[in-house]
Every structure is written in C-alpha cells, then in structure tokens.
Amino acid sequence: MSSSAELNSLLAGIRPGDENARVQAQKQWAACAKPLGSLGLLEDALTDMAALTGSARLALTPRTVLVLCADNGVVAQGVSQTGSEVTGIVARALAAGQSNVCRMAALASCRVLPVDMGIRDFAPTPGVYASRIGNGTADMTAGPAMTRSQAEQAILAGMELVRREKEAGTHLLATGEMGIGNTTTATAVTCALLSRTPLELTGRGAGLSDAGLVRKRAAIETALQVNQPDPADPVDVLAKVGGFDIAGLCGVFLGGALYHIPVLVDGAISAVAALCAVRICPAAAAAVFATHQSAEPAGALLLQALGKKPLITAGMRLGEGTGAVAAMPLLDMALAIYQGSTFDDYGMEPYQPQGGQK
C-alpha cells in the first residue's frame, strides 16, 4: 500500500466525539461544589477530553511529551544563531533527562520521549526513538524541502507514535520539537496556510540579530516563491516548505483523533502542525488542546485559526514541549475538583443557572 493510500485509510477511521460523554462530563461539573463554570477554560478542556475519549471517567496519567527532532536544509541560508549540530546535542540531552523539558516534565510526572525524525548524521542513541524519514530536509530555498511521499511518511510516523502510546496505556500526550531552523520552516508553513507575509510573521526564533532576521525573512520569501505551496493541500505545503518534525507532529494530532488521546499543543511550531492536521481532517480538531500562547509573532494567529483558547499566556517560546508540560499541573488541579466534593457531600442545593449569565 502506498503512503498516500495508507494515510487515507487511517483518516477514514477518524470519527466525531462522543456527545453523550460530553453531557455526562457537564453533569459532573454541575454537581461539583463550586459556582457554575468557575474554572472556565479548564472545565471546557476536561469536558472536551471526555467527548474525545468517549468517557466522563477521565484520567490524565500516564502521559508523555513527544519531542520530535529533525534538521532543516534551510539552515544553510544563515537563518539560525547556531548550526545544525545543536539538534543532535539537544536530542542526546533529552535522552539523558538533562534538557529543559525533562526538568519540567519530572515535576509534572510526565515521560519524555525524544524522536529522531531526521537529525542530520545522527547515530542510533539509547533513549531516542528512531523514526527517521531522511537525513534532514533539503534547502527549501532551492526547491521542495522533501518529497510528497516523505511528507506522508512523516505524518504516518506521527500517527504510529500515538498508536504505540495508546497500546502502552498513555492517557495524555504533549507535543514538543527540536530542530535548528524550524521556526523558519514553521513560519513558511504558516504564511502559506494563512496567506500572510514573512514580514508579518517572522520572529527572531532563538535570538537572531537584525541581520539574521533579514536573512530569515528573505529565505522564507524565496522558499514560498520557488515552491508555490498550495494552501488548499496541507501535505503539499509540508512537503515544500515544512520539516520532518512538523509533518510528524501533524500526524500526532491526527493520531490523537484516531486513537482518542488528547494532544496538547505547545507553541507556534506545534500549533501550525495542528492546523495542518485540522486542514487535512477537520474532525481532528477534537484532539487538539491549546496550552499557551507563544510569544512568536504567529502564536496568537495560529490559535485563532484553530479556534482554540490558551490556558496560559506567559510569553513563552522555549520549545521542546515546555509550554504544553507547564499546563499539565493546571489540568491535574481541575481534574481533582472534577473528581472531588459535590453539593450532596456538602448537604446543600446545587447552583442553578440564572438568567443573564454567559
């Protein structure tokens, strides 16, 4: 079976959420001993998770942050402060439990799984899951970053990661990434999907100088002109100006919808992957859960395009899945109340909706 046929077959299995489970979750919230709707977006998140999973009996552990790592040929254009070798260095730090997200994940009782989607010249490493599509992408300023088949293979690889996690009993996933140059590819994909210009959306990434920012914008403009990605075809956009990490993350969101596991969006890179997933299969939106609003210029626009509201607005832009992991304790606290005392336990009448409330 071709990668295209396999992908279409899997996408056909994605179904709408379970509205009965949503109603049961809403009833559970209404019974909680607190003012109606007083946990705001946290209540909405757990209710949406009930609909996705098909059960109002929610669990948020075990959980994993999938950190997809890949290199990008566009780095040759001077769009980053560091060289591609840093991708491999950080991937090894992730495997050793020494990276930024590892420290946060330890506090959030979250497993970290680094995934090699295409780190340049990267040898098999204990603790790094190998799912290589290629030895990094090509320079998108000179032609497509990858073939369409490679883009489809990367999406399928992301879906396969979710299937494996489902079999292992995982109840919650977070999306992370590591790849020097991937704010450049993410911006190019965003420009293509949202019909925006590089001037509007290009940020400094890991801290570019003014000259570096000019080079980055120029590289994105050139890539878009050379490749002419079709905004009506997200796979075409990913293949022409994306990266193996972004395409894989797109697959993770699609896999979340297929296998009924909530997937937490991190920053702008994972958000544009989520947008690709939703453009490919609108029903995949049920598996997409926003955590924070990235400080990258495209951060707010991508969440608006997804129709998702962030739980946190802290000006974060670290990557690796750190923003998604930061939201996990908030969800834990909400779940503690969801599973906690009811009005019956207090011996009092529950709150009732009043006219004029929103």
Is the dihedral angle over the CA atoms 208, 211, 213, 217 positive or is it negative?
A: negative
Nearest to 132 by CA among 165, 112, 148, 154: 154
pLDDT at residue 351, rounded to an integer: 85
Whether 320 is catalytic is yes
Does some domain include residue 26? no
Angle, vertex CA 85, rays to CA 83 and CA 88, nearest 5: 140
**Cβ burial, residue 155 (10 Å; 0-12/13-18/19+):** buried
Task: Read off the pLDDT of each residue in 194-221 and give the average, rounded to a whole number.
Answer: 88
The pLDDT score that the predictor gives to residue 355 is 67
pLDDT at 260: 98
Q: How many residues does the chain have?
A: 358
Within-domain flag for 199 = yes
Give the tens place of pLDDT for each residue, 146-163: 999 999 999 999 999 999
Q: Which amino acid is at 155?
A: I
Q: What is the pTM of this model?
A: 0.96
Q: Tens digit of pLDDT for each residue in 49-72?
A: 999 999 999 999 999 999 999 999
- 288-317 residue pLDDT tens: 999 999 988 899 999 999 999 999 999 998
For the residues 87-94, what does the mean pLDDT come to? 98
Which pLDDT value is given to residue 177? Answer: 98
The answer to whether residue 147 sits within a structural domain is yes
- Binning pLDDT at 50, 70 and 90, where does residue 8 land? very high
Residue 43, domain member (yes or no): no
pLDDT of residue 172: 98
Q: Between helices 41-53 and 328-338, what is the axis angle to 10°?
A: 80
pLDDT in tens, 327-339: 999 999 999 999 9
Stretch 280-284: mean pLDDT: 98
- pLDDT of residue 282 exceeding 60: yes
Q: Is the pLDDT of residue 358 over 60?
A: no
pLDDT at res. 356: 59
Residue 212 pLDDT: 80
CATH assignment at residue 216 = 3.40.50.10210
The answer as to whether 299 is a domain residue is: yes
Residues 6 or more apart from 16 whose CB is under 8 A from it?
283, 286
Q: Residue 56 domain-assigned?
A: no
By residue range, what is the domain housing residue 312?
63-330
Q: In this structure, is residue 211 part of a structural domain?
A: yes
Per the CB < 8 A criterion, the answer to whether 334 and 19 are in contact is no
| DSSP characters over 291-346 | -B--SSTTHHHHHHHHT---SB-S-----TTHHHHHTHHHHHHHHHHHTS-BHHHH
Tokens of 254: 């699609």
pLDDT score of 296 = 87
Look over the chain and give the mean of its residue pLDDT values, rounded to a whole number.
95
At residue 349 the predicted structure's pLDDT band, cuts being 50, 70 and 90, is confident
Q: Is residue 357 domain-resident?
A: no
CA distance 172 to 191: 30
Catalytic one of 43, 152, 177, 320: 320
Q: Please state, in angstroms and rounded to a whole number, the distance separating the CA atoms of residues 197 and 305.
A: 16
- How many domains does the chain fold into? 1
DSSP classification of residue 128: S
φ and ψ of 42, to 5 deg: -65, -40
